[in-house]
């Protein structure tokens, strides 16, 4: 399954305003057709990402449509009544959007309990709670900048981020229109002019912020409401523009050309954009303008007009079920491998898509429409509708919160078990089994996994304040042991999260009085002079952090007995020879001051979460979660080459503690080795302590 930090999970379509049972003079077939196109782009992109790499632009289409329709509705109400009835507006939105959304969430909760590994429950239920409360976009934005959470697999409710963004828009936007109404009445100005100024200012501010954050820190920028509001604003400004007489193009030829141009722009973006396209930023402006063009053109007449395509029944029907189709398709994709026991193939995905379409049609027929149009239980009254909404939200939030609590409790239980085992370890526990000089085997550990998969995410190399996160630039200067004791060797550990993963072993050495340790650890920031292969914010903060690290190392050279470093090879930029040169350039000034530099090999990395594999148990095949060594180390080992270039530097290969016989096991000596796809568990690192000490002593360090 695909990792989620940069997954382009697209925006939820607003529930259709037109309904065949309730004809409306405001029904616009081109908007329904836009919904159909947008949801088709989204669904095809998620089912077959390589075929339509930019299909995520459907989010922009939906956001523009929402801004256009909602602003037009609010403007008409304000002009006709002089006010905006907020309770009535919010109640209508709740009746349209929440029943189907909550039905899908409830079904996803049941499917999670039945099919998902328990190691995923805590993350998935936490996101379900975020989706229920319509803050899922902020949950994901927070995870995107939290290095410990950024590598998590996508949850089946991740797509609710866009629905959360829309709901937040529905809460705030009417207040701006209401403010415009009040200002216009007080200053004797026209409502449209005043509202245009207010909404225009909000749109411009959001667009400017989107441009900045997409460059500075693109991961959270993708999910933040503040970077997406301008897309709703574009639709809003179009509604205000078209509300003036004579603003729509009058000739069918111009409108036809404008409509086809907009559709071509959307198709072009879906084919040309990829996951590496900076988004939203300036790239999002293109599909937004394409959507604006189609809406502005309407449904022109004429032989070459796209109006017949818009009115084609399959297109209109797809638009009608677009909301439910969006809701169901992503959980189906995420959960399918757990139900099937393998990744879905071509035919299985086609069958899954057909099932999702049928499920969406059923949801439209038996959930959406009855909730929107029923006269029963007084749901047409705003107060009653909002009360029922609050009760349903509370009930679902209670279930999701309970799931989080249960998952946390199980994780704590397993962590306690792991602590007891580590305190009195059996023979051949953990890295002892891999000891190159005295390998051993304990059959009693064959079915043991410590920590258990459900607890592995919390088996972190703490403390947290020793690790500088994405946006940090200050040195943590985290110390362990008697740093001021001249008789105890002082080791400085420098590097990124892979260096941090080894901190428990160094802390153990410090606790035993063998060394004192100072840790300088920074997210995605290896000790090199070259730029990291990451987004702009990581590059900038890494460079600033290094600028402070170098003088610190120079000032403390006299009291430092060795600098030990390692890092994630995937974050080093350039070709291997350049990577080695950049590493050597960073180490050389320290080595020239007489301080030995010891470079440790990087640890293996997996394509899939090992703990999800382990969650199924090891009885059937104890080796089924192992990985071939050549796949676990896809990048050249440039740390060794760099050490050869620097006099006074040494290289220590820790691979024998991770792999044997060309295989890297997921469980070694009963210990769960990996916290995620490429970070070691703190438990396994602690078992490496005596062997790490031996390796450091072999290269001449006085430990």
Asked, for residue 131, whether it belongs to a domain, the answer is no
Contact 589, 612 (CB under 8 A): no
Q: What is the mean pLDDT of residues 140-158?
A: 73
Asked, for residue 511, whether it belongs to a domain, the answer is yes
Asked, for residue 228, whether it belongs to a domain, the answer is yes
307 in the same domain as 445: no
Here the tokens at position 114 are 């039945």
pLDDT tens-digit readout, 336-350: 999 998 889 999 999
555's CB contacts (< 8 A; 6+ apart) are none
Helices (H), 188-246: 191-216, 218-221, 225-242
**Cα–Cα distance measured from residue 449 to residue 665, given in angstroms and rounded to the nearest whole number:** 12
456 in the same domain as 376: no
**Cα–Cα distance measured from residue 206 to residue 209, given in angstroms and rounded to the nearest whole number:** 5
Helix, strand or coil, per DSSP, at residue 99:
helix
- The last residue of one of the domains, among 362, 389, 416, is 389
pLDDT for 168 beyond 90: yes
pLDDT given at position 598 = 96
Q: Return the residue matching tokens 């600098």.
A: 563
Name which of 21-30, 106-115, 424-433, 588-597 the model is least confident about: 21-30
436 in the same domain as 384: no
Closest CA to 599 of 501, 519, 699, 669: 699
**Cα–Cα distance measured from residue 12 to residue 357, given in angstroms and rounded to the nearest whole number:** 16
Residue 468, domain CATH: 3.40.50.1110
DSSP annotation string for 142-197: HHHH-TTTTTPPPPTTTTHHHHHHHHHHHHHHHHHHHHHHHHHHHHT--HHHHHHH
Burial, 26: exposed, middle or buried (Cβ in 10 Å; 0-12, 13-18, 19+)? Answer: exposed
Q: What is the mean pLDDT of residues 399-404?
A: 94
Domain count, the chain: 2
Cα 175 → chain centroid:
30
675's CB contacts (< 8 A; 6+ apart) are 456, 457, 459, 460, 501, 611, 681, 682
430 in the same domain as 328: no
667 in the same domain as 613: yes
330 in the same domain as 246: yes
Q: What is the mean pLDDT of residues 376-395?
A: 78
Asked, for residue 254, whether it belongs to a domain, the answer is yes
- pLDDT-derived band at 585 (thresholds 50, 70, 90) equals very high
Q: Within the chain, what is the greatest distance between any pair of CA atoms?
A: 91
Q: Which domain holds residue 623?
A: 425-698
pLDDT given at position 458 = 82
Asked, for residue 623, whether it belongs to a domain, the answer is yes
- The last residue of one of the domains, among 389, 413, 443, is 389
- pLDDT-derived band at 377 (thresholds 50, 70, 90) equals low
198 in the same domain as 338: yes
460 in the same domain as 358: no
| DSSP symbol at 532 | B
pLDDT for 55 beyond 90: yes
DSSP annotation string for 244-268: STT-S--SHHHHHHHHHHHHHHHHH
DSSP annotation string for 320-344: HTHHHHHHHHHHHHHHHHHHHSS--
- The last residue of one of the domains, among 389, 415, 446, is 389
**Cα–Cα distance measured from residue 536 to residue 522, given in angstroms and rounded to the nearest whole number:** 15
47 in the same domain as 194: yes
CA atoms lying within 13 Å on the CB side of residue 494: 26
pLDDT given at position 84 = 81
pLDDT for 429 beyond 60: yes
pLDDT tens-digit readout, 292-320: 999 999 988 888 999 999 999 999 999 99
Cα angle vertex 458, ends 456, 460, to 5°? 100
657 in the same domain as 555: yes
Asked, for residue 272, whether it belongs to a domain, the answer is yes
Asked, for residue 122, whether it belongs to a domain, the answer is no
Here the tokens at position 269 are 């973006």
pLDDT tens-digit readout, 588-625: 999 999 999 999 999 998 878 888 888 765 544 657 78
352 in the same domain as 222: yes
Here the tokens at position 354 are 């057909």
Asked, for residue 134, whether it belongs to a domain, the answer is no
383 in the same domain as 505: no
**Cα–Cα distance measured from residue 239 to residue 261, given in angstroms and rounded to the nearest whole number:** 20
* pTM for this model (two decimals): 0.85
């Amino acid at each position: 399954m695909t990792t989620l930090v940069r997954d382009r999970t697209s925006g939820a379509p607003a529930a259709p305003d037109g309904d065949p049972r309730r004809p409306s003079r405001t029904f616009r077939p081109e908007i329904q057709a836009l919904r159909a196109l947008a949801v088709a782009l989204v669904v095809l992109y998620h089912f077959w990402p390589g075929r339509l790499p930019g299909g995520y632009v459907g989010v922009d289409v939906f956001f523009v449509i929402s801004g256009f329709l909602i602003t037009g509705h609010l403007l008409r109400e304000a002009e006709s009544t002089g006010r905006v009835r907020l309770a009535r507006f919010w109640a209508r939105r709740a009746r349209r959007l929440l029943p189907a959304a909550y039905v899908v969430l409830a079904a996803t909760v049941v499917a999670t309990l039945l099919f998902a590994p328990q190691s995923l429950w805590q993350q998935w239920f936490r996101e379900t709670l975020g989706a229920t409360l319509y803050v899922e976009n902020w949950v994901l934005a927070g995870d995107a900048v939290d290095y410990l959470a950024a590598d998590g697999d996508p949850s089946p409710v991740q797509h609710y981020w866009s629905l959360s963004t829309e709901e937040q828009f529905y809460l705030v936007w009417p207040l701006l229109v209401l403010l415009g109404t009040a200002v216009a009445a007080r200053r004797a100005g026209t409502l449209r002019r005043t509202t245009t100024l207010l909404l225009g200012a909000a749109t411009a501010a959001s667009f400017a912020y989107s441009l900045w954050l997409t460059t500075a820190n693109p991961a959270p920028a993708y999910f933040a409401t503040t970077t997406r509001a301008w897309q709703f604003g574009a639709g809003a400004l179009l509604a205000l523009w078209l509300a003036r007489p004579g603003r729509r193009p009058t000739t069918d030829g111009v409108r036809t050309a404008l409509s086809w141009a907009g559709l071509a722009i959307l198709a072009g973006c879906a084919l040309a954009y990829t996951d590496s396209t900076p988004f939203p930023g300036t790239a999002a402006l293109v599909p937004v303008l394409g959507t604006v063009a189609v809406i502005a053109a309407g449904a022109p007449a004429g032989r070459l007009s796209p109006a017949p395509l818009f009115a084609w029944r399959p297109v209109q029907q797809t638009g009608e079920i677009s909301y439910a189709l969006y809701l169901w398709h992503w959980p189906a994709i995420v959960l399918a491998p757990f139900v099937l026991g393998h990744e879905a193939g071509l035919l299985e995905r086609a069958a899954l898509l057909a099932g999702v379409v049928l499920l969406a049609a059923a949801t439209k027929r038996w959930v959406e429409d009855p909730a929107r149009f029923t006269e029963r239980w007084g749901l047409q009254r705003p107060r009653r509708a909002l009360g029922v909404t609050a009760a349903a939200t509370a009930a679902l939030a209670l279930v999701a919160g309970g799931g989080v609590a249960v998952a946390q409790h199980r994780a704590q239980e397993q962590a306690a078990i792991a602590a007891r085992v580590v305190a009195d370890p059996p023979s051949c526990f953990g890295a002892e089994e891999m000891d190159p000089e005295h390998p051993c085997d304990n059959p009693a550990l064959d079915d043991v996994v410590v920590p258990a998969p459900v607890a592995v995410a919390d088996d972190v190399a703490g403390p947290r304040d020793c690790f500088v996160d994405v946006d940090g630039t200050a040195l943590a200067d985290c110390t362990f042991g008697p740093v001021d004791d001249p008789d105890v060797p002082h080791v400085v550990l420098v590097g990124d999260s892979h260096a941090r993963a080894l901190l428990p072993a160094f802390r153990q050495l410090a606790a035993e009085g063998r060394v004192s340790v100072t840790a300088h650890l920074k997210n995605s920031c290896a000790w090199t002079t070259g730029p990291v292969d990451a987004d702009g914010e990581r590059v900038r903060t890494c460079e600033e952090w290094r600028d402070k690290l170098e003088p610190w190392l120079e000032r403390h050279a006299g009291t430092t007995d060795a600098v030990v470093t390692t890092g994630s090879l995937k974050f080093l930029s350039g070709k291997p020879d350049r990577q080695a040169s950049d590493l050597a350039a960073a180490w050389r000034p320290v080595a020239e001051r007489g301080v030995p530099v010891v470079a440790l090999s990087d640890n293996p990395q997996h394509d899939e979460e090992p703990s999800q594999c382990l969650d199924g148990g090891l009885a059937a095949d104890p080796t089924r979660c192992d990985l071939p060594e050549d796949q676990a180390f896809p990048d050249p080992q440039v740390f060794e080459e760099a050490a050869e270039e620097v006099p006074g530097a040494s290289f220590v290969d820790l691979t024998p503690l991770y792999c044997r016989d060309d295989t890297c096991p997921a469980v070694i000596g009963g210990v769960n080795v990996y916290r995620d796809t490429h970070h070691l568990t703190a438990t396994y690192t602690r078992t490496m302590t005596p062997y790490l000490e031996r390796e450091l002593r072999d290269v001449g360090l006085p430990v």
